Structure 1
């Protein structure tokens, strides 16, 4: 198969695959659409060659065995060779940890990797791309999640970014602590004020952290964690709506039901009926 494009349902918060595909480009083909992306798109060149550049960087020639990354929110340009056009596969990624993962690798800065050869990173990308074509099931979804993190593990261990000073990492570490706090406490009736007190940080500082690293507010992320957990419980358990509301941090069923409908477009009972 030379050309394909598939989209997936978005479920993850930390990292999630939105779409994947491949294309065997025509000579000189250049993408003419919106080159400022709302997510990250990792490309692996299967054959051929082409040119790639990101705003503020020089154009570089890449070939089979190389990777390039279309970064979120940054203009970029890529064009197939006129004599030996490339054939590449891609995986589109989003999630609150994706930016930090790429920042910890050599993809930070130049947004490409050359001559990855038989690296475990390359092998795990190829394996993940293969598994993404299999029929969706709980087992396959778990395998995709596992392979995604395996790929990231090999990326940051085989191709680490070694020039980041510890002081530059501090905001990222604070953000990670903030997310971990929400993950550990969203099932209780915790608030963003509780988060601020726990980390001894101001509300405005934490808001800016979330805007920088997750492009959302802490309150929206807290709500997303609760609602995604509620959706899972509604479709996989026989617990009452009142019990589920309490388990995801709402002690008032009416408030939970109102928030759930605003988030999903369905009342809890209707969602259970449609998606169980």
Structure 2
């Protein structure tokens, strides 16, 4: 029987959730809990001593305090937060601080956990989502090569419709075309050209299936040289010509 290696962590369990607001100058005194305290700051500016560290918190900041760790909130302005008390191992792989994304994903989960009072099952699902997102935030920062590939992929999404060339992307990123190809081969097991074509194809199929635009317009909108170029890629990927896909969608 093969041994399982690696650290095992018990699943977090929600003990309580709520909202806290305070006026300017209204500090929260130093205290500690026997469980984790996860706090999402919604508004205000706060200085937070946590153990041996001190953090400045602004909207979108999440502070995660392990069990039996003294911490406080020093209000520099009026502030509001969402807080969760969570039973988890003291070495659970969460960061001590992280920040929300532009879609306010973490706030959505915090708010849902605070609001949900009827279903233990739903609270458990929401806490699992939060756990995954927080552990992801604690992952090591991306390497320069990973950042480079991610930046190239972002450029593909932004410029796929304008006849973008891989040489142009490499130049904008300050790397040689061969270097960009090598990074994609190692990290994505594909080429940058194939990755760009996948973006174009995804958008083209969306237009074909969900609009009545002429194929020439679809080709123009998605960076294909011609209708025949578009048709070849669509048929290679799906086994069907663009017109057949429309017929199938319209007459299931």
TM-score (norm 1): 0.46
TM-score (norm 2): 0.49
